[in-house]
Amino acid sequence: MKVIETGLPGLLVIEPRVFEDDRGYFFETYQNQRYQEAGIVNPFIQDNESKSVVGVVRGLHYQLGEFSQAKLVRVVLGKVFDVAVDLRKGSPTFGKWFGLELDEYNKKQLYVPRGFAHGFSVLSETAIFAYKCDNVYHREAERSINPFDPKLGIDWKLNGKQQIVSEKDENAPLFDNAEMNFNF
């Protein structure tokens, strides 16, 4: 597999080695030793999957304190624009974001370490999004940042498509007002 640094410390793009022939393809979506050698040492304890339609924007989500989560994200079907925002005070990239397209063809993954908010927009008619977490969901620790905060200036790549956003995400605080307790 190929590991690509994003410019935001700890946030990594993973390009797995895909074996294709006339029968289809095969690749390892996760192999503990290889990922540990790449610096991804978190023990993943939960797998999640969501299905969304075109125009959906999910995020920007994170959990505070001992309930924070590292995630390894990928797309099983369709295409998304995936985004991570650095929330670690003292980081040289605090408040900066990185985004890339993940789809069923490029098979890329994004490793999102603890201390980042995460979200995505759906660019295809439907998308199935899968991710591993190193901590379980904890409702009381869950926080969000408004995905349309002008200070962040994220282009969700929807190019005029109708945006479908949960009420919770639409009413989430802006970056400057969001509760965060991460340090670099």
What letter would DSSP give residue 114? T
| Both tokens assigned to 168 | 């919770």
In angstroms, rounded to a whole number, what is the distance separating the alpha carbons of residues 72 and 49? 12
Tell me which of 61, 62, 111, 118 is the catalytic residue: 61
- Is residue 109 within 8 A of residue 74, CB to CB? The reply is yes
| Phi, psi dihedral angles at 125 (to 5 degrees) | -55, -40
Rounded to whole angstroms, the Cα distance separating 78 from 74 reads: 11
What is the CB neighbour count within 10 angstroms for residue 160? Answer: 6
Query: Which residue among 30, 111, 131, 138 is the active-site one?
Result: 131
118 is catalytic: no
**3-state SS assignment for residue 143:** strand
111 carries an active-site annotation: no
Distance in angstroms (rounded) separating the CA atoms of residues 97 and 85: 4
CA distance 123 to 102: 10
- State how far the Cα of 52 lies from the Cα of 166, in Å rounded to an integer: 12
Q: Which residues are catalytic?
A: 61, 131
